[in-house]
Amino acid sequence: MTDAPADAALPPISRALRAYVARIEALNRRVGRVAMYLLFAMMAILLWSSISKTFFLPSLWTLEMAQFTLTAYFLLGGPYSIQLGSNVRMDLLYERWTPTTKAWVDAFTVLFLLFYLGVLLYGGLLSAQYAIEYGERNPTAWRPYTWPIKSIMCLGLALMILQALAELFKDVGRIRGERWAFAR
């Protein structure tokens, strides 16, 4: 992933940050690549929903299961999307800036992202704890437990926080003039 001779010349903190970034990006790449297939699972669920409504008795579970699958797809794929830089930016000014200016702006704005994700994770953890403690169920005919999707939500948010930290470390490295080359 990185050049070994170049890493040997770096201070220990830089080597530790590079190791952190490499591990988090590898983890989020794997999770994101697996999460991509949840879209096909959701399509299969919705196809079954259409078939069962047309030819059989309608299934009670299909709509909520499709929603849960889409939520897992979105939240587990989010860190991989951040890693790939697929997030939306206002390119009016950004594309004209130098790489160092981009790194400064990204390092500043990622702090807001970290705060936002931290608040979401805090609320998600409280909600998941409540769902587990009281056996919370959705108030529908199917009545599924909510703790599995709330736990997946917390996992996705935690992975997004770890990826946002990795992006911050890469931006700081770019500001300092270091070359960060990781496989995509």
Cα dist. 88→12, 74, 82, 94 in Å?
34, 15, 10, 11
pLDDT at 146: 94
pLDDT at 14: 80
Cα dist. 128→16, 116, 120, 172, 180 in Å?
33, 18, 12, 34, 37
Asked whether residue 101 is domain-assigned, the answer is yes
Of the two residues 125 and 89, the one the predictor is more confident about is 125
pLDDT at 96: 86
Tell me: the pLDDT tens digits for 73-121?
A: 999 999 999 999 887 777 778 888 898 998 999 999 999 999 999 999 9
Please answer whether residues 65 and 45 qualify as being in contact, where contact means their C-beta atoms are separated by less than 8 angstroms.
yes
pLDDT band, residue 184 (cuts 50/70/90): very low
pLDDT at 46: 94
Q: What is the mean pLDDT of residues 51-79?
A: 92
pLDDT at 12 over 90: no
Q: What is the rounded distance in angstroms from the CA atom of residue 11 to the CA atom of residue 138?
A: 52
pLDDT at 95: 83
pLDDT at 9 over 70: no
Write down the pTM of the prediction: 0.86
Q: What is the rounded distance in angstroms from the CA atom of residue 93 to the CA atom of residue 147?
A: 43
Mean pLDDT of the chain: 89
Q: What is the mean pLDDT of residues 1-17?
A: 64
Asked whether residue 28 is domain-assigned, the answer is yes
Asked whether residue 154 is domain-assigned, the answer is yes
pLDDT at 11 over 80: no
Asked whether residue 180 is domain-assigned, the answer is no
Asked whether residue 181 is domain-assigned, the answer is no
Of the two residues 184 and 88, the one the predictor is more confident about is 88
Rg of the chain (C-alpha set):
21
Asked whether residue 184 is domain-assigned, the answer is no
Determine the number of helices (DSSP H) and then strands (DSSP E) in the chain: 7, 0
* Domain residue limits at 94: 4-175
Provide the number of structural domains found in the chain: 1
Asked whether residue 9 is domain-assigned, the answer is yes
Q: What is the rounded distance in angstroms from the CA atom of residue 94 to the CA atom of residue 85?
A: 13
